[in-house]
Chain A
Amino acid sequence: MIAIPPGGIDCDIHPAVPGLGALLPYLADHWRESVVQRGMHELESIAYPKNAPLTSRPDWRGAGGLPGGDLDQLRAQALGPFGTSLAICNCLYGVQLLFSEDLAAGFASAINDWVRREWLDPEPRLRASIVVPVQNPEMAVNEIERLAADKRFVQILMLVMGEMPLGRRHYWPIYAAAERHGLPIGIHAGSGYRHPVTGVGWPSYYSEDYANQAVAFQSALTSLVCEGVFAKFPGLKVVLIESGFTWLPAHLWRLNKFWRGLRMEVPWVDRPPAEIVRDHVRLTLQPVDSPPQHEQLERLMEHMGSDAMLLFSTDYPHWHFEGTQALPEGLPGALIHKIMVDNPRATYARLTEALA
Chain B
Amino acid sequence: MTVQLLERRATQPAAAVKMAIADCDIHPSPKSMEKEVYPYLEKRWQRHLETYGVRPRQGFANGPAFPKGQPDASRRDAYPPNGGRPGSDLDFMRQQHLDPYNVQLGILNPLRGGQGVQNGDFSAALCRAINDWQIAEWTSKEPRLKGSVVVPYEDAAASAAEIDARAGDTNFAQVLVLSRTAEPLGQRRYWPIYEAAARAKLPVAVHAFGYGGFPVTGGGWPSYYIEEMVGHAQCNQSVLTSMVMEGIFERLPTLKVILVEGGFAWLPALAWRLDKVWTRLRDETPHVKRPPSSYIRQQVWVTSQPTEEPEPRRHLLDTIEWMGWDRLLFATDYPHWDFDDPTQVLPPRVGEQQRRQFFMENARAVYGITG
- Please give the residue numbers on chain A whose beta carbons come within 8 Å of chain B beta carbons, in ascending order: 52-54, 160-168, 191, 194-208, 210-212, 214-216, 218-220, 222-223, 226-227, 244, 246-247, 249-251, 253-259, 261-262, 265-266, 287, 289-292, 296, 299-300, 302-303, 319-320
How many Å from the CB of B21 to the closest CB on chain A? Answer: 22
B219 and A191 within 8 A (CB): yes
- For the complex, is B104 an interface residue (Cβ under 8 Å from A)? no
B218-A161 in contact (CB<8A): yes
For residue A355, give the distance in angstroms from its CB to the closest CB of chain B. Answer: 35
Could you tell me if B237 and A215 are in contact, using CB atoms closer than 8 angstroms?
A: yes
B215 and A199 form a contact (CB under 8 A): yes
A87 to B239, CA, bound (A): 36
Residues in A neighbouring B91, C-beta threshold 8 A: none
B interface residues (Cβ-Cβ under 8 A, vs A): 69, 179-187, 212, 214-227, 229-231, 233-235, 237-239, 241-242, 245-246, 263, 265-266, 268-270, 272-274, 276-278, 280-281, 283-285, 306, 308-310, 315-316, 318-319, 322, 337-338
Which one of A53, A207, A215, A247 lies within 8 Å of B238 (CB-CB)?
A215
Contacts of B180 in A (CB 8 A): 199-200
Please state if A253 and B309 are interface contacts (CB–CB under 8 Å). Answer: yes
B222 pairs with A53, CB closer than 8 A: no
Question: Which residues of chain A are near B218, meaning CB under 8 Å?
Answer: 160-161, 191, 195-199, 212, 215-216, 219
Residue of A nearest to B265 (CB): A250
Smallest CB gap from A163: residue in B: B220
- Chain B residues in 8 Å Cβ range of A220: 217, 219
Residue contact A205 to B235, C-beta cutoff 8 Å = no
For B220, the chain A residues whose CB sits under 8 A away are 161-165, 168, 194-195
Q: Which residue of A lies closest to B267 (CB)?
A: A250
Q: Are A247 and B184 in contact (CB under 8 A)?
A: no
10 tightest A-B CB contacts, nearest first: A250-B265, A198-B238, A219-B217, A253-B308, A161-B219, A164-B220, A289-B273, A246-B269, A201-B183, A262-B226
Expressed in whole angstroms, the Cα–Cα distance for A209 and B138 within the complex equals 42
**Across the interface, which residues of A come within 8 angstroms of B214, CB to CB?**
195-196, 198-201
CA distance in complex: A199, B229 (Å)? 12
Q: Kindly list chain B residues whose C-beta atoms are within 8 Å of the C-beta of A256.
A: 309
* Bound complex: CA A191 to CA B128 (Å): 40
CA distance A256 to B322 in the complex (A): 22
Q: How far is the CA of A227 from the CA of B179 in the complex (A)?
A: 25
- Taken together as a complex, chains A and B put the C-alpha atoms of A302 and B317 apart, in Å, by 13
Write the chain B residue with the least CB distance to A259: B226
- How many Å from the CB of B269 to the closest CB on chain A? 4
Count of chain A to chain B residue pairs whose CB atoms are closer than 8 Å in the complex: 246
Known: A164-B221, A202-B183. A287 touches B276 (CB 8 A): yes
Per the bound structure, the CA–CA distance linking A215 and B318 in Å amounts to 21
Residues on B with C-beta less than 8 A from A168 are 220, 223
* Cα A258 to Cα B281 with chains together (Å): 36
A212/B281 in contact, CB under 8 A: no
Q: Is the CB of A299 within 8 A of B280?
A: no
Are the CB atoms of A254 and B231 closer together than 8 Å? no
Q: Which of A195, A246, A289 contacts B215 (CB 8 A)?
A: A195
Beyond contacts A161-B217, A196-B214: 9 other A-B pairs, Cβ-Cβ < 8 A, are A161-B219, A199-B217, A208-B184, A212-B237, A218-B233, A222-B230, A223-B219, A247-B273, A265-B225
Whether the pair B234, A215 counts as a contact (CB closer than 8 A) is yes
Cross-chain pairs A/B with CB under 8 angstroms, 22 sampled: A54-B277, A161-B220, A165-B227, A191-B218, A195-B214, A198-B242, A200-B181, A200-B184, A200-B235, A204-B184, A207-B281, A211-B245, A212-B237, A214-B270, A216-B219, A222-B222, A250-B265, A250-B269, A251-B233, A261-B69, A262-B229, A303-B318
Q: Which residues of B contact A291 (CB under 8 A)?
A: 268, 272, 322
Contact across chains for B69 and A200 when beta carbons are under 8 A apart:
no
A200 and B179 contact, CB distance less than 8 A: yes
Whether the pair A165, B270 counts as a contact (CB closer than 8 A) is no
Q: Which residue of A lies closest to B291 (CB)?
A: A292
Determine whether the beta carbon of B219 is less than 8 Å from that of A166.
yes
Known contacts A207-B284, A291-B322; is-contact A218 B234 (Cβ 8 Å): yes
- Chain A, Cβ-Cβ closest to B68: A262
Closest residue to A161 on the B side, CB-wise? B219
Q: Are A258 and B181 in contact (CB under 8 A)?
A: no
Cβ-closest chain B residue relative to A194: B220
Contacts of B186 in A (CB 8 A): 204
* Complex interface: chain B residues within 8 A of A287 (CB): 276
Cβ B266 vs Cβ A203 within 8 A:
no
Residues in A with CB closer than 8 Å to B69 are: 261-262, 265
Q: Is the CB of B272 within 8 A of A208?
A: no
